[in-house]
């Protein structure tokens, strides 16, 4: 009996040890569980994902209250040959109108966020087709649905999910590449696509709403001499056709400067949007910017990272394209704690004014975010 | 005076013993305190470069450079976590922690910049074997490189073992 009990203890100890030390195995499995390169097979589908759960409490009612499920984003990448690659991303988002209407709305929205087929010729030339995160905003492409990837809980207002200030998604074709350029490491992207749908927060997934394609150009540098620095600029042009059939010419210029190391981490972005109604010349400008700083504390195993962000959105009130989009001035401060290599806990305080002649609002927010 | 002489006579042997023990300890410990061997950057013999700068090596390690030349794709082999070769590459070349390196690659794949992260190898022998067989492969090896069909790259113009070699 005693021997059996001892054996159970041994098994329990082995089990606990196995449970307590999964991180290294998991780490290898997450990004590198692949056959040896000389045994590569195609297609090589790999699925990963991101998820988050939040809690919020605000002074004035705005947005979700209490606990809320964030997006569950599934990301797929598959090499179809040595030079052809498929990328896909599907998100599931909780609906606030679940169960209402006829037929009743489902509990979650499923959305094809990205679907890209890319042909790689070289570092200097890659051509792709599909649905992208519009590469005219650093945050939009660097983090997007990966809440775990971003330091803060909330995205900047200028590029919120479902936001209308900047086009979040882009359906079309992209040419991209990078050249060393004497250590400046210049990267470029050029694209043509459908642009915004008549509901301007949507991309033109089923087709363009008018005969004018959207276009974009983006360039950024990551100089060797200042390793960690990235800076760049973008331009975007489109013709918007609203549901009312009013048409507007849209031009966006944007710029970003990022210090990518974590001691400190600095991200600053600016975007200026010009709308000009066709057949009724009246130019309207709107703009938005934010600056965010964070610092990975060297103590306590480098798990803590406090941060601070200022942001501003200034919308031209007479711009019919941005009807319902409100001005905003806000400050966000918080701290991120990396509980493991793949999970983070974040807590933050926000203070903001949305719209003119409104009361200042503030609130506390909490999030657990992870990748798998 | 006599008392102090007897005290010295009593203590001296103990000091001699202690000094002898320390000498033995230093002599046996000194091999362990030698600097570890340099870490060689090894590529398949078909790779059309003989040397890289640290900045170029960093771009490969971070996935910013995916091709040696048009058509010749880089296959990055990295040792599993804990290995000294991996630590040296991440800390010296990328100036990152293990967690930052991992997050960088998760983000890289997520942004659709690349379909896969570095390939893991579990020993120097496995790394050399793969490098010798996969065109475009690159790996970090501690110790002697004896395999055929591979070559050791100069880093910032220096070979492993030379003074000022960056990867130690």
Judge whether B112 is closer than 8 Å to chain A, CB to CB: yes
List Cβ neighbours of A296 (8 Å cut-off, separation of 6 or more).
Answer: A262, A263, A265, A302, A304, A305
Q: Identify the three-state secondary structure at position A203.
A: strand
Instruction: Quote the CA–CA distance of B56 and B63 in Å, as a whole number.
Output: 11
pLDDT higher at B34 or A34 = B34
pTM attached to this predicted model: 0.85
Which residues of chain B have a CB within 8 Å of the CB of A146? 106-107, 110
Local confidence band at A39 (pLDDT 50, 70, 90 cut-offs)? low
Instruction: Check residue A12 and give its pLDDT.
Output: 41
For A300-320, the DSSP string reads: GGG-EEEEEEEEEEE--TT-G
Which residues of chain B have a CB within 8 Å of the CB of A262? 100
Judge whether B73 is closer than 8 Å to chain A, CB to CB: yes
Strands A44-58 and A361-371 come out as: antiparallel
Local confidence band at A179 (pLDDT 50, 70, 90 cut-offs)? very high
Average pLDDT over residues A11-24: 40
pLDDT higher at A19 or B9 = B9
Judge whether B130 is closer than 8 Å to chain A, CB to CB: yes
Q: Identify the three-state secondary structure at position A120.
A: strand
Residue A165 token pair: 């200030």
Q: Kindly determine whether residue A87 and residue B112, on different chains, have CB atoms separated by under 8 Å.
A: yes
Asked whether A344 and A372 are in contact (CB, 8 A), the reply is: no
pLDDT higher at B76 or B33 = B76
Local confidence band at A282 (pLDDT 50, 70, 90 cut-offs)? confident
By C-alpha distance, which of A213, A230, A222 is closest to A268?
A230
Instruction: Check residue B21 and give its pLDDT.
Output: 54
Residue B52 token pair: 């890289």
Judge whether B111 is closer than 8 Å to chain A, CB to CB: yes
Local confidence band at B33 (pLDDT 50, 70, 90 cut-offs)? low
Instruction: Check residue A21 and give its pLDDT.
Output: 40
pLDDT higher at A113 or A25 = A113
Q: How far is the alpha carbon of A156 from chain B, nearest alpha carbon, in Å?
A: 18
CB-nearest to A34 from B69, B70, B119 is B119
Indicate left, alpha or beta for A155 from its phi (over 0: left) and psi (-120 to 50: alpha).
beta
- Chain B, nearest residue to A221 by Cα: B64
Local confidence band at A96 (pLDDT 50, 70, 90 cut-offs)? confident
Instruction: Check residue A195 and give its pLDDT.
Output: 92
For A186-230, the DSSP string reads: EEEEEEEE--B-SSTTSB-SS--SSSPPEEEEEEEE--STTTTEE
By C-alpha distance, which of A353, A314, A54, A307 is closest to A158?
A314
Query: What angle separates helix A23-32 from helix B98-110, to the nearest 10 degrees?
Result: 30
Instruction: Check residue A357 and give its pLDDT.
Output: 86
Place of tokens 């309207």: A284
ipTM over 0.90? The verdict is: no
Which of A73, A123, A133, A298 best probes binding to B when mutated, by most B CB atoms within 10 angstroms?
A123
CB-nearest to A28 from B66, B97, B120 is B120
CB-nearest to A31 from B55, B64, B105 is B105
Local confidence band at A280 (pLDDT 50, 70, 90 cut-offs)? confident
Q: Kindly determine whether residue A120 and residue B66, on different chains, have CB atoms separated by under 8 Å.
A: yes
Asked whether B73 and B151 are in contact (CB, 8 A), the reply is: no
List Cβ neighbours of A325 (8 Å cut-off, separation of 6 or more).
Answer: A164, A165, A286, A313, A315
Strands B51-52 and B150-155 come out as: parallel
Which residues of chain A have a CB within 8 Å of the CB of B103? 149, 341
Q: Has residue A27 got a pLDDT over 80?
A: no
Angle at B117 between CA A229 and CA A222, to 5 degrees: 15
Instruction: Quote the CA–CA distance of A167 and B145 in Å, as a whole number.
Output: 52
Instruction: Check residue A16 and give its pLDDT.
Output: 37
Asked whether A72 and A92 are in contact (CB, 8 A), the reply is: yes
Average pLDDT over residues A232-238: 98
Which residues of chain B have a CB within 8 Å of the CB of A261? 95
């Amino acid at each position: 009996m005693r021997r059996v009990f001892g054996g159970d203890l041994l098994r329990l100890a082995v089990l606990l040890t196995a449970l307590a030390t999964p991180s290294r195995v998991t780490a290898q499995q997450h990004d590198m569980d692949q056959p040896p390169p000389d045994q590569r097979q195609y297609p090589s589908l790999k699925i990963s994902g991101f998820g988050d759960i939040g809690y919020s409490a605000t002074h004035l009612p705005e947005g979700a209250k209490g606990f809320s499920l964030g997006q569950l984003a599934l990301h797929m990448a598959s090499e179809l040959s040595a030079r052809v690659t498929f990328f896909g991303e599907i998100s599931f988002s909780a609906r606030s109108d679940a169960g209402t209407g006829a037929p009743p709305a489902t509990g979650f929205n499923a959305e094809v966020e990205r679907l890209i087929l890319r042909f790689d010729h070289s570092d200097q030339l890659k051509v792709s087709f599909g649905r992208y995160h519009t590469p005219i905003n650093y945050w939009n492409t660097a983090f997007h649905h990966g809440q775990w990837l971003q330091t803060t809980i909330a995205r900047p207002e200028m590029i919120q999910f479902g936001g209308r200030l900047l086009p979040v998604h882009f359906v079309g074709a992209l040419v991209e590449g990078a050249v060393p350029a004497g250590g400046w490491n210049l990267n470029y992207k050029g694209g043509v696509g459908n642009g915004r749908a008549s509901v301007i927060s949507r991309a033109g997934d089923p087709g363009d709403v008018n005969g004018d394609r959207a276009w974009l150009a983006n360039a950024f540098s990551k100089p060797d001499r200042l390793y960690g620095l990235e800076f760049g600029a973008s331009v975007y042009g489109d013709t918007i056709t609203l549901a009312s059939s009013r048409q507007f010419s849209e031009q966006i210029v944007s710029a970003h400067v990022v210090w990518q190391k974590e001691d400190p981490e600095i991200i600053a972005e600016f975007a200026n949007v010009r709308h000009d109604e066709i057949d009724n010349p009246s130019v309207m400008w709107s703009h938005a910017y934010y600056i965010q700083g964070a610092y990975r504390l060297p103590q306590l195993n480098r798990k803590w990272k406090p941060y601070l962000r200022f942001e501003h959105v200034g919308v031209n009130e007479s711009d019919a394209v941005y009807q319902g989009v409100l001005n905003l001035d806000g400050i966000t401060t918080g701290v991120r704690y990396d509980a493991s290599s793949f999970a983070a806990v974040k807590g933050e305080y926000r203070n903001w004014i949305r719209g003119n002649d409104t009361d200042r609002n503030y609130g506390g927010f909490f999030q657990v975010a992870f990748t798998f | 005076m006599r008392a102090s002489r007897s005290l010295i006579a009593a203590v001296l042997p103990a000091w001699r013993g202690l000094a002898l023990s320390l000498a033995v300890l230093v002599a046996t410990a000194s091999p362990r305190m030698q600097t570890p061997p340099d870490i060689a950057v090894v590529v398949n013999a078909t790779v059309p470069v003989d040397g890289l700068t640290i900045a170029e090596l960093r771009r490969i390690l971070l996935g910013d450079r995916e091709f040696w030349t048009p058509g010749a794709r880089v296959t990055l082999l990295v040792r599993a976590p804990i290995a000294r070769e991996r630590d040296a590459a991440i800390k010296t070349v990328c100036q990152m922690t293990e967690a930052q390196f991992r997050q960088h690659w998760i983000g890289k794949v997520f942004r659709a910049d690349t379909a896969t992260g570095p390939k893991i190898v579990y020993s120097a022998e496995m790394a050399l074997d793969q490098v010798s067989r996969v065109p475009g492969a690159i790996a970090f090896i501690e110790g002697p490189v004896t395999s055929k069909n591979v070559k050791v790259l100069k880093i910032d113009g220096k070979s492993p073992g030379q003074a000022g070699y960056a990867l130690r």
